[in-house]
Chain A
Amino acid sequence: MLIDFNASPASLPKNAEFCIVGSGPAGMSLALELENHNRSVLLLEGGGLEWTPESYELYRGDVVGDYYVGLEYARARQFGGTSGHWGGWSYQLTELAFKEKPGFSDAQWPIEKKDLDPFLEKARAVLDIKAPPDDVVLDREFGIKEFRIAYSRVKFGQRYRERLTSSQHITCVTGAMLTGLKTNGRDIVAATVTNFSGKSANVTAKYFILAMGGIENSRMLLWFNQQANGQLVDSRAPLGRYWMEHPAYQVGYALVDLKIPKTEYFRPHLLLTFTEDVFKKLGILECSFALEGISSTGTKGLLKDLVCVAPRVGEWAASLAGKNIVCGARFIVGWEQEPLWSNHVKLSEAKRDRFGIPTAEVHWKKSDRDRATLQKAVTHFNEFLMAKNHGRLKLADWVFAKDGYPSSGNDGVSYHHIGGTRMAHSVEKGVVDKNCRVFGKENLYIAGSSVFPSGGEANPTLSIVQLSMRLADHLLKA
């Protein structure tokens, strides 16, 4: 059933077994899985069925530190959440993503890839994707690996609207902003929901699950905890801390004789990464490269440039171009950001939203190790291209500079909001345990990428849905 809390506030159910806050990929996939087991779910969505200006206003916030896009553009506050404008790139986190990395002691997960693997097929079904072809090691000596991904076309709000409308077990309420969580110290006893007219109501549930997004989960917990005089989250927990993105930049162009495959929905691109051994040897964070094919005119322009600058290798490339086996490509590098305590979401001291809740202030800066990851990765990839005569790179000036990044448009931004309520073995290291339960609370859980302790190099949505499937499994057994 779908209810608009703005239009009919009296129709809000007062009780449910599960109260899930947020109808994006994390919350909705959890609700759908619980429904599959005939469990009663109240799914609260702060936005409307579609994007609205007043909802968008609630996502305004500030970023302090490195360049970032406006927070109101970086997410979608609507039915189906940010899947309303996602790219659909879906692939799993690697085994390495979950492991402790030498020198990065805060990057370890309390679970392993094998803990998520049993939920992969269910997650793929939700995203309506098939398993992509296996990774291919292109070069053993340099540990260069091509990986393939699946492209989901599922916008949760569109794909699952009919199912939710006719659902017997899920009541989805739009226009229902979570504005309070009441605790008796051990449990959450009620949630307060408010509509745009300021009308409020309380909801009780056996379990409460926050799935509001990679910034809102932190912001709202910080606010509710402040309102509860610190009774909601243990003071030792790093709430709001270790916030991360997947920094990604076009660092230049490549002329290569590597095959750049066509894709169903995007420009042709070849996705490459390193083997685990190379990451360990270089002592860097996980990263990946996209060689995104450019037009034949663009390729010719690059060839002309290379012939002028370096005639000998230029002639070699031009001879291959005549046989259509050299491609010009945008060279894009993305990496997992170093998890740092100093990167965090905090409550603004000056600005509040229309409900009187402080807006988010995201403190975010890339570290020297982030820069070293970029530079060492590009250097190693270049060594491979040169040693194996696969081509040459033309890089932007800033890549090997000491500091500074491009700062316009989508530079450095993947719209992946990670961390803030990270999972860990102990409350000193995390906000939730390995089952996504808030430490010290019996019935409060968190879903979404805010629980990731590190970002890995994969786009997060498939892992988010896997984690929601795993959380459903845990809640059904509880």
Chain B
Amino acid sequence: MYSRRAFLIGLFLFSQLALVSKTYAKAPARKNRKFLKQGWLLQEGDV
């Protein structure tokens, strides 16, 4: 019984982690160094 609950909790956590990873993989990284390139205001990770 406990192992089934642990499996379900683990599965839930894993699915949330995957969702978050997917979201952040698509979005540009949040980093601080900012710079101008050909008029565009960019940050590290954009290029």
Q: Nearest residue in A to B37 (C-beta to C-beta)?
A: A309
B40: which of A309, A312, A387, A400 is its contact (CB, 8 Å)?
A309
- CB-based contact A389/B28 at 8 Å: yes
- In the assembled complex, which residues on chain B have CB atoms less than 8 Å from the CB atom of A387? 30
Q: Are A392 and B39 in contact (CB under 8 A)?
A: no
Report the interface size for chain B: residues with CB under 8 A from the other chain: 16
| B30–A313 touching, CB < 8 Å | no
Let me know if B38 is at the binding interface, CB within 8 A. yes
In the assembled complex, B45 has its CB within 8 A of some CB on chain A: yes
Residues of B contacting A313 with CB < 8 Å?
28, 42, 45-47
- In the complex the two chains form, what is the Cα distance from A393 to B42 in whole Å? 8
CB pair B34 A316 closer than 8 Å = no
Q: Is the CB of A310 within 8 A of B30?
A: no
Q: B6: CB under 8 A from chain A?
A: no
In Å, the complex CA distance between A382 and B36 comes to 12
Knowing A386-B34, A392-B46, the reply to whether A312 touches B39 (Cβ < 8 A) is no
How many angstroms between the C-alpha atoms of A252 and B39 in the bound complex?
9
B41 within 8 A of A: yes
Please report which residues of chain B, range 1-47, place their CB below 8 angstroms from some CB of chain A when the two chains form the complex.
26-28, 30, 34, 36-43, 45-47
Please, how many angstroms separate the alpha-carbon atoms of A309 and B28 in the complex? 14
| In the complex, chain A residues whose CB is within 8 Å of the CB of B39 | 252, 394-397
Most buried by A among B37, B41, B45: B41
Contact with B along A289-333 (1 / 0, CB 8 A): 000000000000000011001111100100100000000000000
With beta carbons under 8 angstroms apart, the residue of A310, A316, A396, A397 that contacts B42 is A310
B37 to chain A, nearest CB (A): 5
Say yes or no: A310-B40 contact (C-beta < 8 A), given A386-B34, A392-B46. yes
Chain A, interface SS category = helix
Contact (Cβ within 8 A) B46 A393: no
Which residues from B are CB-within-8-Å of A397?
A: 39
Task: Say whether, besides A306-B40, A394-B39, A395-B39, A312 and B30 are in contact (CB < 8 Å).
Answer: no
A residues 381-417 near B (Cβ < 8 Å) are 382, 386-387, 389, 392-397, 400
- With A312-B46, A389-B28 as contacts: A394 and B34 at CB distance below 8 Å: no
| Chain B: CB-nearest residue to A312 | B46
Q: How far is the CB of A456 from chain B (nearest CB, A)?
A: 28
Residues of B within 8 A of A389 (CB): 27-28, 30
Query: With a CB–CB cut-off of 8 A, which chain A residues contact B43?
Result: 386
Q: Which 3 A-B residue pairings sit nearest by Cβ, starting from the closest?
A: A313-B46, A310-B46, A313-B28
Hey, which bits of chain B sit against chain A, CB under 8 A? 26-28, 30, 34, 36-43, 45-47
Query: What are 21 of the A-B contact pairs (CB < 8 Å)?
Result: A306-B40, A309-B40, A309-B42, A309-B47, A310-B46, A311-B47, A312-B45, A312-B47, A313-B28, A313-B46, A313-B47, A316-B26, A316-B27, A382-B41, A386-B30, A386-B43, A393-B40, A394-B40, A394-B41, A396-B39, A400-B36
